[in-house]
Structure 1
Amino acid sequence: MKRQLLERCFYYSATIFLTLCLVYKRDNHQNSSTSEPRKEDMLLNAIKTNRAFVCKQSLPYSKEMFKVDFIICMKDPLKDPIISAFFHINGYVTTGKLGVGVRDRYEEHIINVWLTLLKNYPQATVLDLGSNIGTYTLVSSKMGNQVISVDPSPQNHALLFNSVVLNDFTEDVTQVMNPISDGHYEYTGEVKHGSIEDSLDLYYANSYNGVLSSITLFDLFDLKPEEDTFIIKIDVEGFECKVLTEFLKMETKPKYVPYIQMEVTHHCGAGWKSQCFPTFKTEFLPLLEKSGYTPHVPWPITYEDLKATCYFDVLFVHKDAKPFPYNDPYLAKTFKFNSHYEVM
């Protein structure tokens, strides 16, 4: 039955999925005179040329606490060694040749902590910003949270939609196919160094035919006006500061965000392609601190520690957030080494 459903959903996703892939703009944003590419065309092309390599049941995350698993549709693992390769060999990380490795799930150490955050706020809406093929979307939905999944790639969304259908998460997940930044900009496929176009071109240059508009964090809040609490996971290739700065500057926040899980490795050195690097330590981190957030890895560290060491991922916890068991022996056991060099 699952196999039959999978075969069908590759095709009817072209119609149902279109209701989810919308361009959201705030009321005060003027519509562009340049028409955007037809989402139907992009998705149909993505579905025809990027069928899932395979869809598989994951191994359970947080084996000793939650035992959360899900079905995930993935890319060719040889072309996506960062995420799909983990799931292709059913949760075993590769070391060298594909298929040889040790027993670890993809980002198991981070997701095990993530699940404890969701348990604290079961009614919160998760914003999966930079969702890729949807690992955090799927694991969050399995925990019962509503999720808004944001990614500019039609290929990623086509795969994610099939995963959503196979897991029966269609009532819980809203997919938004747009880049996210600090304003409403047009992506035309033209490379402009240091711009959102530059970041998108790196991954998605062949996906678009026309103009695609970026959205903001506030556009996403507007999708759930009745919700007060949002939990954010953000990995948007060096544009994290652009997405979050305006929100952090507000004395009175429009929504409560107890936790922000952020990839920060792009901001550690000048060699990384990051819009945040020049002001990451001097402006962005002070805004997080002023807004009441403490960095965790997953245990708490100081902002001076964060400035001195280049971490891969950092969890920012609001001072009023419900505590999570970062010192739990099981979480400590599964958490990997999370930094790769001292910042010079």
Structure 2
Amino acid sequence: MFGLRSIVNLKGFIGFIVCSTMLLCIYISIYANGREQYLQTTLRTQPRLFNIAVNANSYLSKCKRATLRVPGGSQAPICVYNASEDIWVSGDIIKHQSWEWKNVVTVWKLMKPVKDMAFLDLGCNIGAFTIPMAKLGRRVIAVDANKENLKMLATSLHLGGLDENVTIFLNGVSNETKYVHLVPSTSNVGGTKIEHSDIQSPVDIANSIITIKLDDILTKFGPKPFFMKMDIEGHEAMALRGAVTFFKDIDVRYILMEWMHYKDTKDKKEGSFISDFLAKNSFIPCRISDKNELVMEDAYSSWPNDILWIKKSIKL
């Protein structure tokens, strides 16, 4: 039988356990909430930097190598998908050593005379534009939501000795910070799109996909003039809605944009927003081949699939 002292000691021990458990639960709750708030705050304000060296080393043995033509008569190594997986970008590079060669040449020629012009590649894919502009010796900021694309790009940059010229971000681009998931396109990696995700606080942050606003990456840009390429599968209007401050503070002189998603459509809301927004920011829509100005009224009928927006001060 327990004596009186034993009973007192037992009650004290039980009390200690209860108090300790309560304190632990409170601590876990505070820590978890604090961690979630910290992650949310971090995700709102910081683009996710993609480590080129680490990812290149881990992907090197998987890289299917091809050769990419570069304007000026040179070339560079590039990692590609099998043509059956990626019939357009990788398929063309495997066959012709290039993707959208005429557009790449146009960008190269416009950038070359402006010695400090940098290149912003939104929807960089495996690097058909990023690699030539890095080869030109320019600073490149490459953004994509597909981690596999970026592993391949990182490896290509490493193989070509272009690591120092490029900064890579693993993000989608939108008008707000949110969690999304990828929607693949059959046999066309470049056609991958992003959709809103119901999972808003994933446990594995490293494997989640997060969109950012262009306004939120202002601190990553210097005073250099920029050539901007947008190929984000119909999300161009959404990205521009999150770029109000960006276009006020950044010296963007050219925008190469895919227009095919806005042609021949009854719903002109997104296309009209793009043309109105860029016109208000003093950009003129032009044909890429000859830089001739396009007529706004023809935007949904005869505009080409790709267009070049030129800053009015440059055009004049």
Q: TM-score, normalised by structure 2?
A: 0.69
Q: In the alignment, does 2:233 pair up with 1:237?
A: yes
For 2:212 and 2:297, the matched residues in 1 are separated by 32
SS at match of 2:252: coil
Q: How does 1:25-174 map to 2 (within 5 A)?
A: 30-31=41-42, 51-53=62-64, 55-61=65-71, 66-91=72-97, 105-174=98-167
* Alignment correspondent of 2:308: 315
* Alignment correspondent of 1:340: none
Amino acid in structure 2 at the alignment position of 1:293: F
Deviation at 1:290, TM superposition (A): 2.1
Deviation at 1:311, TM superposition (A): 2.1
Amino acid in structure 2 at the alignment position of 1:111: V
For 1:252 and 1:137, the matched residues in 2 are separated by 21
Deviation at 1:306, TM superposition (A): 2.5
Deviations 1:126-150 (A, max 9, x none): 1110011011110111111101111
For 2:195 and 2:270, the matched residues in 1 are separated by 23
Which of 197, 217, 220 pairs up with 1:220? Answer: 217
Name structure 2 gaps, 5 residues minimum: 1-37, 185-191, 197-204
Deviations 1:95-134 (A, max 9, x none): xxxxxxxxxx421111111111111323122111001101
Query: Is contact 2:259-2:306 (8 Å) kept?
Result: yes
Deviation at 1:58, TM superposition (A): 2.5
For 1:127 and 1:155, the matched residues in 2 are separated by 20
For 1:246 and 1:302, the matched residues in 2 are separated by 26
Amino acid in structure 1 at the alignment position of 2:307: V
Deviations 1:249-285 (A, max 9, x none): 56971111000000111122449xxxxx542343321
SS at match of 1:200: strand
Structure 1 residues 139 and 188: CA distance shift in structure 2, 3 A: closer
Structure 1 residues 84 and 279: CA distance shift in structure 2, 3 A: same
Deviation at 1:228, TM superposition (A): 3.6
* Alignment correspondent of 2:193: 199
For 2:66 and 2:271, the matched residues in 1 are separated by 41
Structure 1 residues 184 and 305: CA distance shift in structure 2, 3 A: same
Query: Is contact 2:174-2:242 (8 Å) kept?
Result: no
Query: Is contact 2:262-2:300 (8 Å) kept?
Result: no
For 1:177 and 1:252, the matched residues in 2 are separated by 22
CA RMSD of aligned residues (A): 3.5
Amino acid in structure 2 at the alignment position of 1:175: I
Greater helix share, structure number: 2
SS at match of 1:120: coil
Structure 1 residues 75 and 229: CA distance shift in structure 2, 3 A: same
Structure 1 residues 252 and 141: CA distance shift in structure 2, 3 A: closer
For 1:239 and 1:185, the matched residues in 2 are separated by 14
If you compute each CA radius of gyration, which structure gives the higher value, 1 or 2?
2
Amino acid in structure 2 at the alignment position of 1:280: E
Structure 1 residues 190 and 170: CA distance shift in structure 2, 3 A: closer
Q: In the alignment, does 2:259 pair up with 1:264?
A: yes
For 1:190 and 1:233, the matched residues in 2 are separated by 22
Amino acid in structure 2 at the alignment position of 1:212: I
SS at match of 1:321: helix
For 2:74 and 2:104, the matched residues in 1 are separated by 10
Name structure 1 gaps, 5 residues minimum: 1-26, 92-104, 192-197, 203-207, 272-276, 324-344
Structure 1 residues 159 and 117: CA distance shift in structure 2, 3 A: same
Query: Is contact 1:77-1:85 (8 Å) kept?
Result: yes
Query: Is contact 1:122-1:144 (8 Å) kept?
Result: no
Structure 1 residues 84 and 318: CA distance shift in structure 2, 3 A: same
Amino acid in structure 2 at the alignment position of 1:256: D
Which of 189, 206, 211 pairs up with 2:208? Answer: 211
Deviation at 1:236, TM superposition (A): 0.6
SS at match of 1:76: coil
